[in-house]
Amino acid sequence: MATIQEMFEGDREAEWRRAGVPDSDIVFSRTCGIDGRDVRAFREFSRENVMVVVRNPKLTARPWHGSVPPKHIGAVGKDDAPKTGTSGVLVTKSGRILVSDYDLMSVWRTEVSPPAKVFISAAHGAARGKWSEAAVKLIVRLNARLVSKVQHGCQDDYHSGNNPGVKHTDHFSAFRRGLATHLPNPTACAAFYAAQGLAWPYDASGKYAGPIAGPA
């Protein structure tokens, strides 16, 4: 007998098919946890000479995208749990339900080789502050297509000892030239960077070792 989670996911997949999402994007969604419509959106966006690398949300969050808003710092109080649980959702003290969000790792322009970084963070990689005009325009264009909107800048561009780094359980999706690639762990993501001629800004333990501005 199907679990409630499986039935919920089946209902969402039926909605995605009715919305014209290709089966290949739905299948990829099962692996990465990203909403099927957003897999399509990231892929199509990457055809515009942009490469996007995302740390995937919790797999169990998959059917919640579009039903509840993605988690963001402003919605979580100091007494709330900082992370979504195994369900992929977080219920705040005020009763708000939030879904595990998409964490951008990096964004690159691919009309040049190796790709050129689009720096998406406050100046000098600060936690808060004004973004560049190019970064704002790119994220506005991307979010216009996404069901679950991007909530913050790129982790690779956060030049701080508070950068959370990567964990061995993290997995990632890369969208380049209209193709989606699942990267099952940080080692695979580092290899993907290397294949593009880019430096991976984390050490062997997963600790942030940046800042790294561009090509290796």
Q: Please write the tens of the pLDDT for every residue from 132-185.
A: 999 999 999 999 999 999 988 999 999 988 899 999 999 999 999 999 999 999
Of 75, 48, 87, 95, which Cα lies nearest the Cα of 149?
75
Exposed e or buried b for every residue in 1-25, given b needs 16+ CB within 10 A? Answer: eeeeeeebbeebbeebeeeebeeeb
**C-beta separation of 30 from 127 below 8 A:** no
Q: Determine the residue type at 66.
A: G
**C-beta separation of 32 from 39 below 8 A:** yes
**Cis preceding linkage at 184, omega within 30:** no
By percentage, how much of the chain surpasses pLDDT 70?
Answer: 81
pLDDT, position 203: 96
The DSSP symbol for 102 reads P
The answer, yes or no, to whether residue 101 has pLDDT greater than 90, is: no
Prediction pTM value: 0.85
Q: Determine the residue type at 150.
A: V
